Amino acid sequence: MQQSHKTTLTNYNVLKTEARNIAHNALPDYLKRATKLKEIDHSALLASKLWSNDSERKVDFDWTFSNRYIYRHPKAFDLTIWVGNKLCILALGRPSYSGTFMRLDFIEKAPTNCPFSSDMVPISILAYETYAKRIGATQFRIIDPINDKVLRSYLQHGGFTHHQGQKGNPHYLVREL
Per-residue pLDDT of 50-82, as tens digits, reads 999 899 998 888 999 999 999 999 999 999 999
Contact 88, 127 (CB under 8 A): no
Between 150 and 22, where is the model more confident? 22
**Neighbour-count burial of 5, counting CB atoms closer than 10 A to its CB (0-12 exposed, 13-18 middle, 19+ buried):** exposed
Q: Convert the pLDDT of each residue in 94-125 to its tens digit.
A: 999 999 999 999 999 999 999 999 999 999 99
- Hey, what's the torsion of the CAs at 96, 102, 108, 110, to 10 degrees? 150
- Rounded to an integer, what distance in angstroms lies between the CA atom of residue 101 and that of residue 86? 31
Q: How many CA atoms lie within 13 A of 152 on its CB side?
A: 3
- Rounded to an integer, what distance in angstroms lies between the CA atom of residue 177 and that of residue 129? 7
**Neighbour-count burial of 34, counting CB atoms closer than 10 A to its CB (0-12 exposed, 13-18 middle, 19+ buried):** middle
* Beta strands in 51-111, from DSSP E residues, in sequence order: 77-83, 86-95, 101-109
The residues facing 102 across adjacent strands are 95, 140
Q: Convert the pLDDT of each residue in 123-146 to its tens digit.
A: 999 999 999 999 999 999 999 988
Whether the pLDDT of residue 1 is over 80: the answer is no
CA-nearest of 105, 143, 176, 136 to 12 is 136
Output the pLDDT for position 90: 97
* Beta strands in 62-151, from DSSP E residues, in sequence order: 77-83, 86-95, 101-109, 139-143
Average pLDDT over the chain reads: 94
Output the pLDDT for position 155: 85
CA-nearest of 152, 150, 151, 159 to 177 is 159
- Rounded to an integer, what distance in angstroms lies between the CA atom of residue 53 and that of residue 19? 32
Between 76 and 8, where is the model more confident? 76
Q: Convert the pLDDT of each residue in 18-41 to its tens digit.
A: 999 999 999 999 999 999 999 999
How close are the terminal C-alpha atoms of the chain, in Å? Answer: 34
What CATH code would you report for 3-146?
3.40.630.30
